Each structure stands twice: as C-alpha cells, then as structure tokens.
Amino acid sequence: MPRSTRPRRHNGTGRKSKWDQGGETGPDLDRARFGPAERQSAPDGEWNIRRISPSRAAKDYTCPGCSLVIRPGVEHLVAWREDSLFGAEAAPAERRHWHQHCWNTRSYRYRA
C-alpha cells in the first residue's frame, strides 16, 4: 500500500506521537552528542557548562554577555556556578544561557 502524502492530524493532546517526530533527535542522542556538563575553572569561580543543541533550544533566552536574544533553534551553552553562595542545590536555579562567543570572551568579575 502506498504512503499517503496528506499531513497527519494531531492526536488532540498537544503532544506528538512517537510516529510524528519528523526527524528530530531525541534527548538521549543530543545528550550523548553534546555531552554532560563540563567543569571550567576561571578567575571568577568554578563553573558547570553544558552545550545546548539546536533541536533542544526551544525558547527565547537573553544572553547576559551581549543582552541579545538567543532564538529557538540556535546552539548555545548554559552556565551555572559550581561554588554558588547559596549551596549546590541552588546553583542550577541560577543558570544562564550564553552565546558561545560571549561566554569565551566574557570579562571576569574578580571577587574581592
């Protein structure tokens, strides 16, 4: 039986079925490709960095380095302090989304 060229109807729940993924990569494949969070030491502290693939970038974020919007579908990174003032549990809540270039060229704020 030949395949239909008509678009599929949505199932009404707002979620895609496993058949309607349309070539998107799954979260496990993206995590394997972009890796787990890596740790970086810098003059302004210890940081956890995780790269975000274009398929997982789903919302608008404001880059703290340039104050421009990171649009959905743009590869970027997320950074949060390893040595947060409020403890390790609060650190992921303080994470920020950065353009790769902005993160690499940021000016360090030295602690006094």
28 pLDDT above the threshold of 60 = no
Tokens at 23, concatenated: 């070539």
Number of domains in the chain: 1
Instruction: Give the Cα separation of 82 and 41 in Å (integer).
Output: 9
Q: Supply the pLDDT for residue 29.
A: 53
Chain-centre distance of CA 71, in angstroms? 11
Above 50 in pLDDT, residue 112?
no
Can you list the alpha helix ranges (DSSP code H) found in the chain?
Answer: 27-34, 100-104
Instruction: Give per-residue pLDDT as tens, 77-104.
Output: 999 888 767 666 667 778 899 999 999 8
Whole-number pLDDT of residue 37: 76
Summarize pLDDT for 44-76 with one digit per residue, the tens.
888 889 999 898 888 999 999 999 999 999 999
Q: 65, 100 in Cβ contact below 8 A? A: no
Q: Where are the beta strands (DSSP E) in 32-95?
A: 38-42, 45-52, 61-62, 69-70, 76-81
> What sign results for the dihedral spanned by CA atoms 95, 101, 104, 106?
negative
What local confidence, expressed as pLDDT, does residue 13 receive? 57
Domain span including residue 76: 42-104
- Residue 48 falls inside a structural domain: yes
Residue 82 domain flag: yes
pLDDT of residue 23: 47
The reply to whether 58 falls in a domain is yes
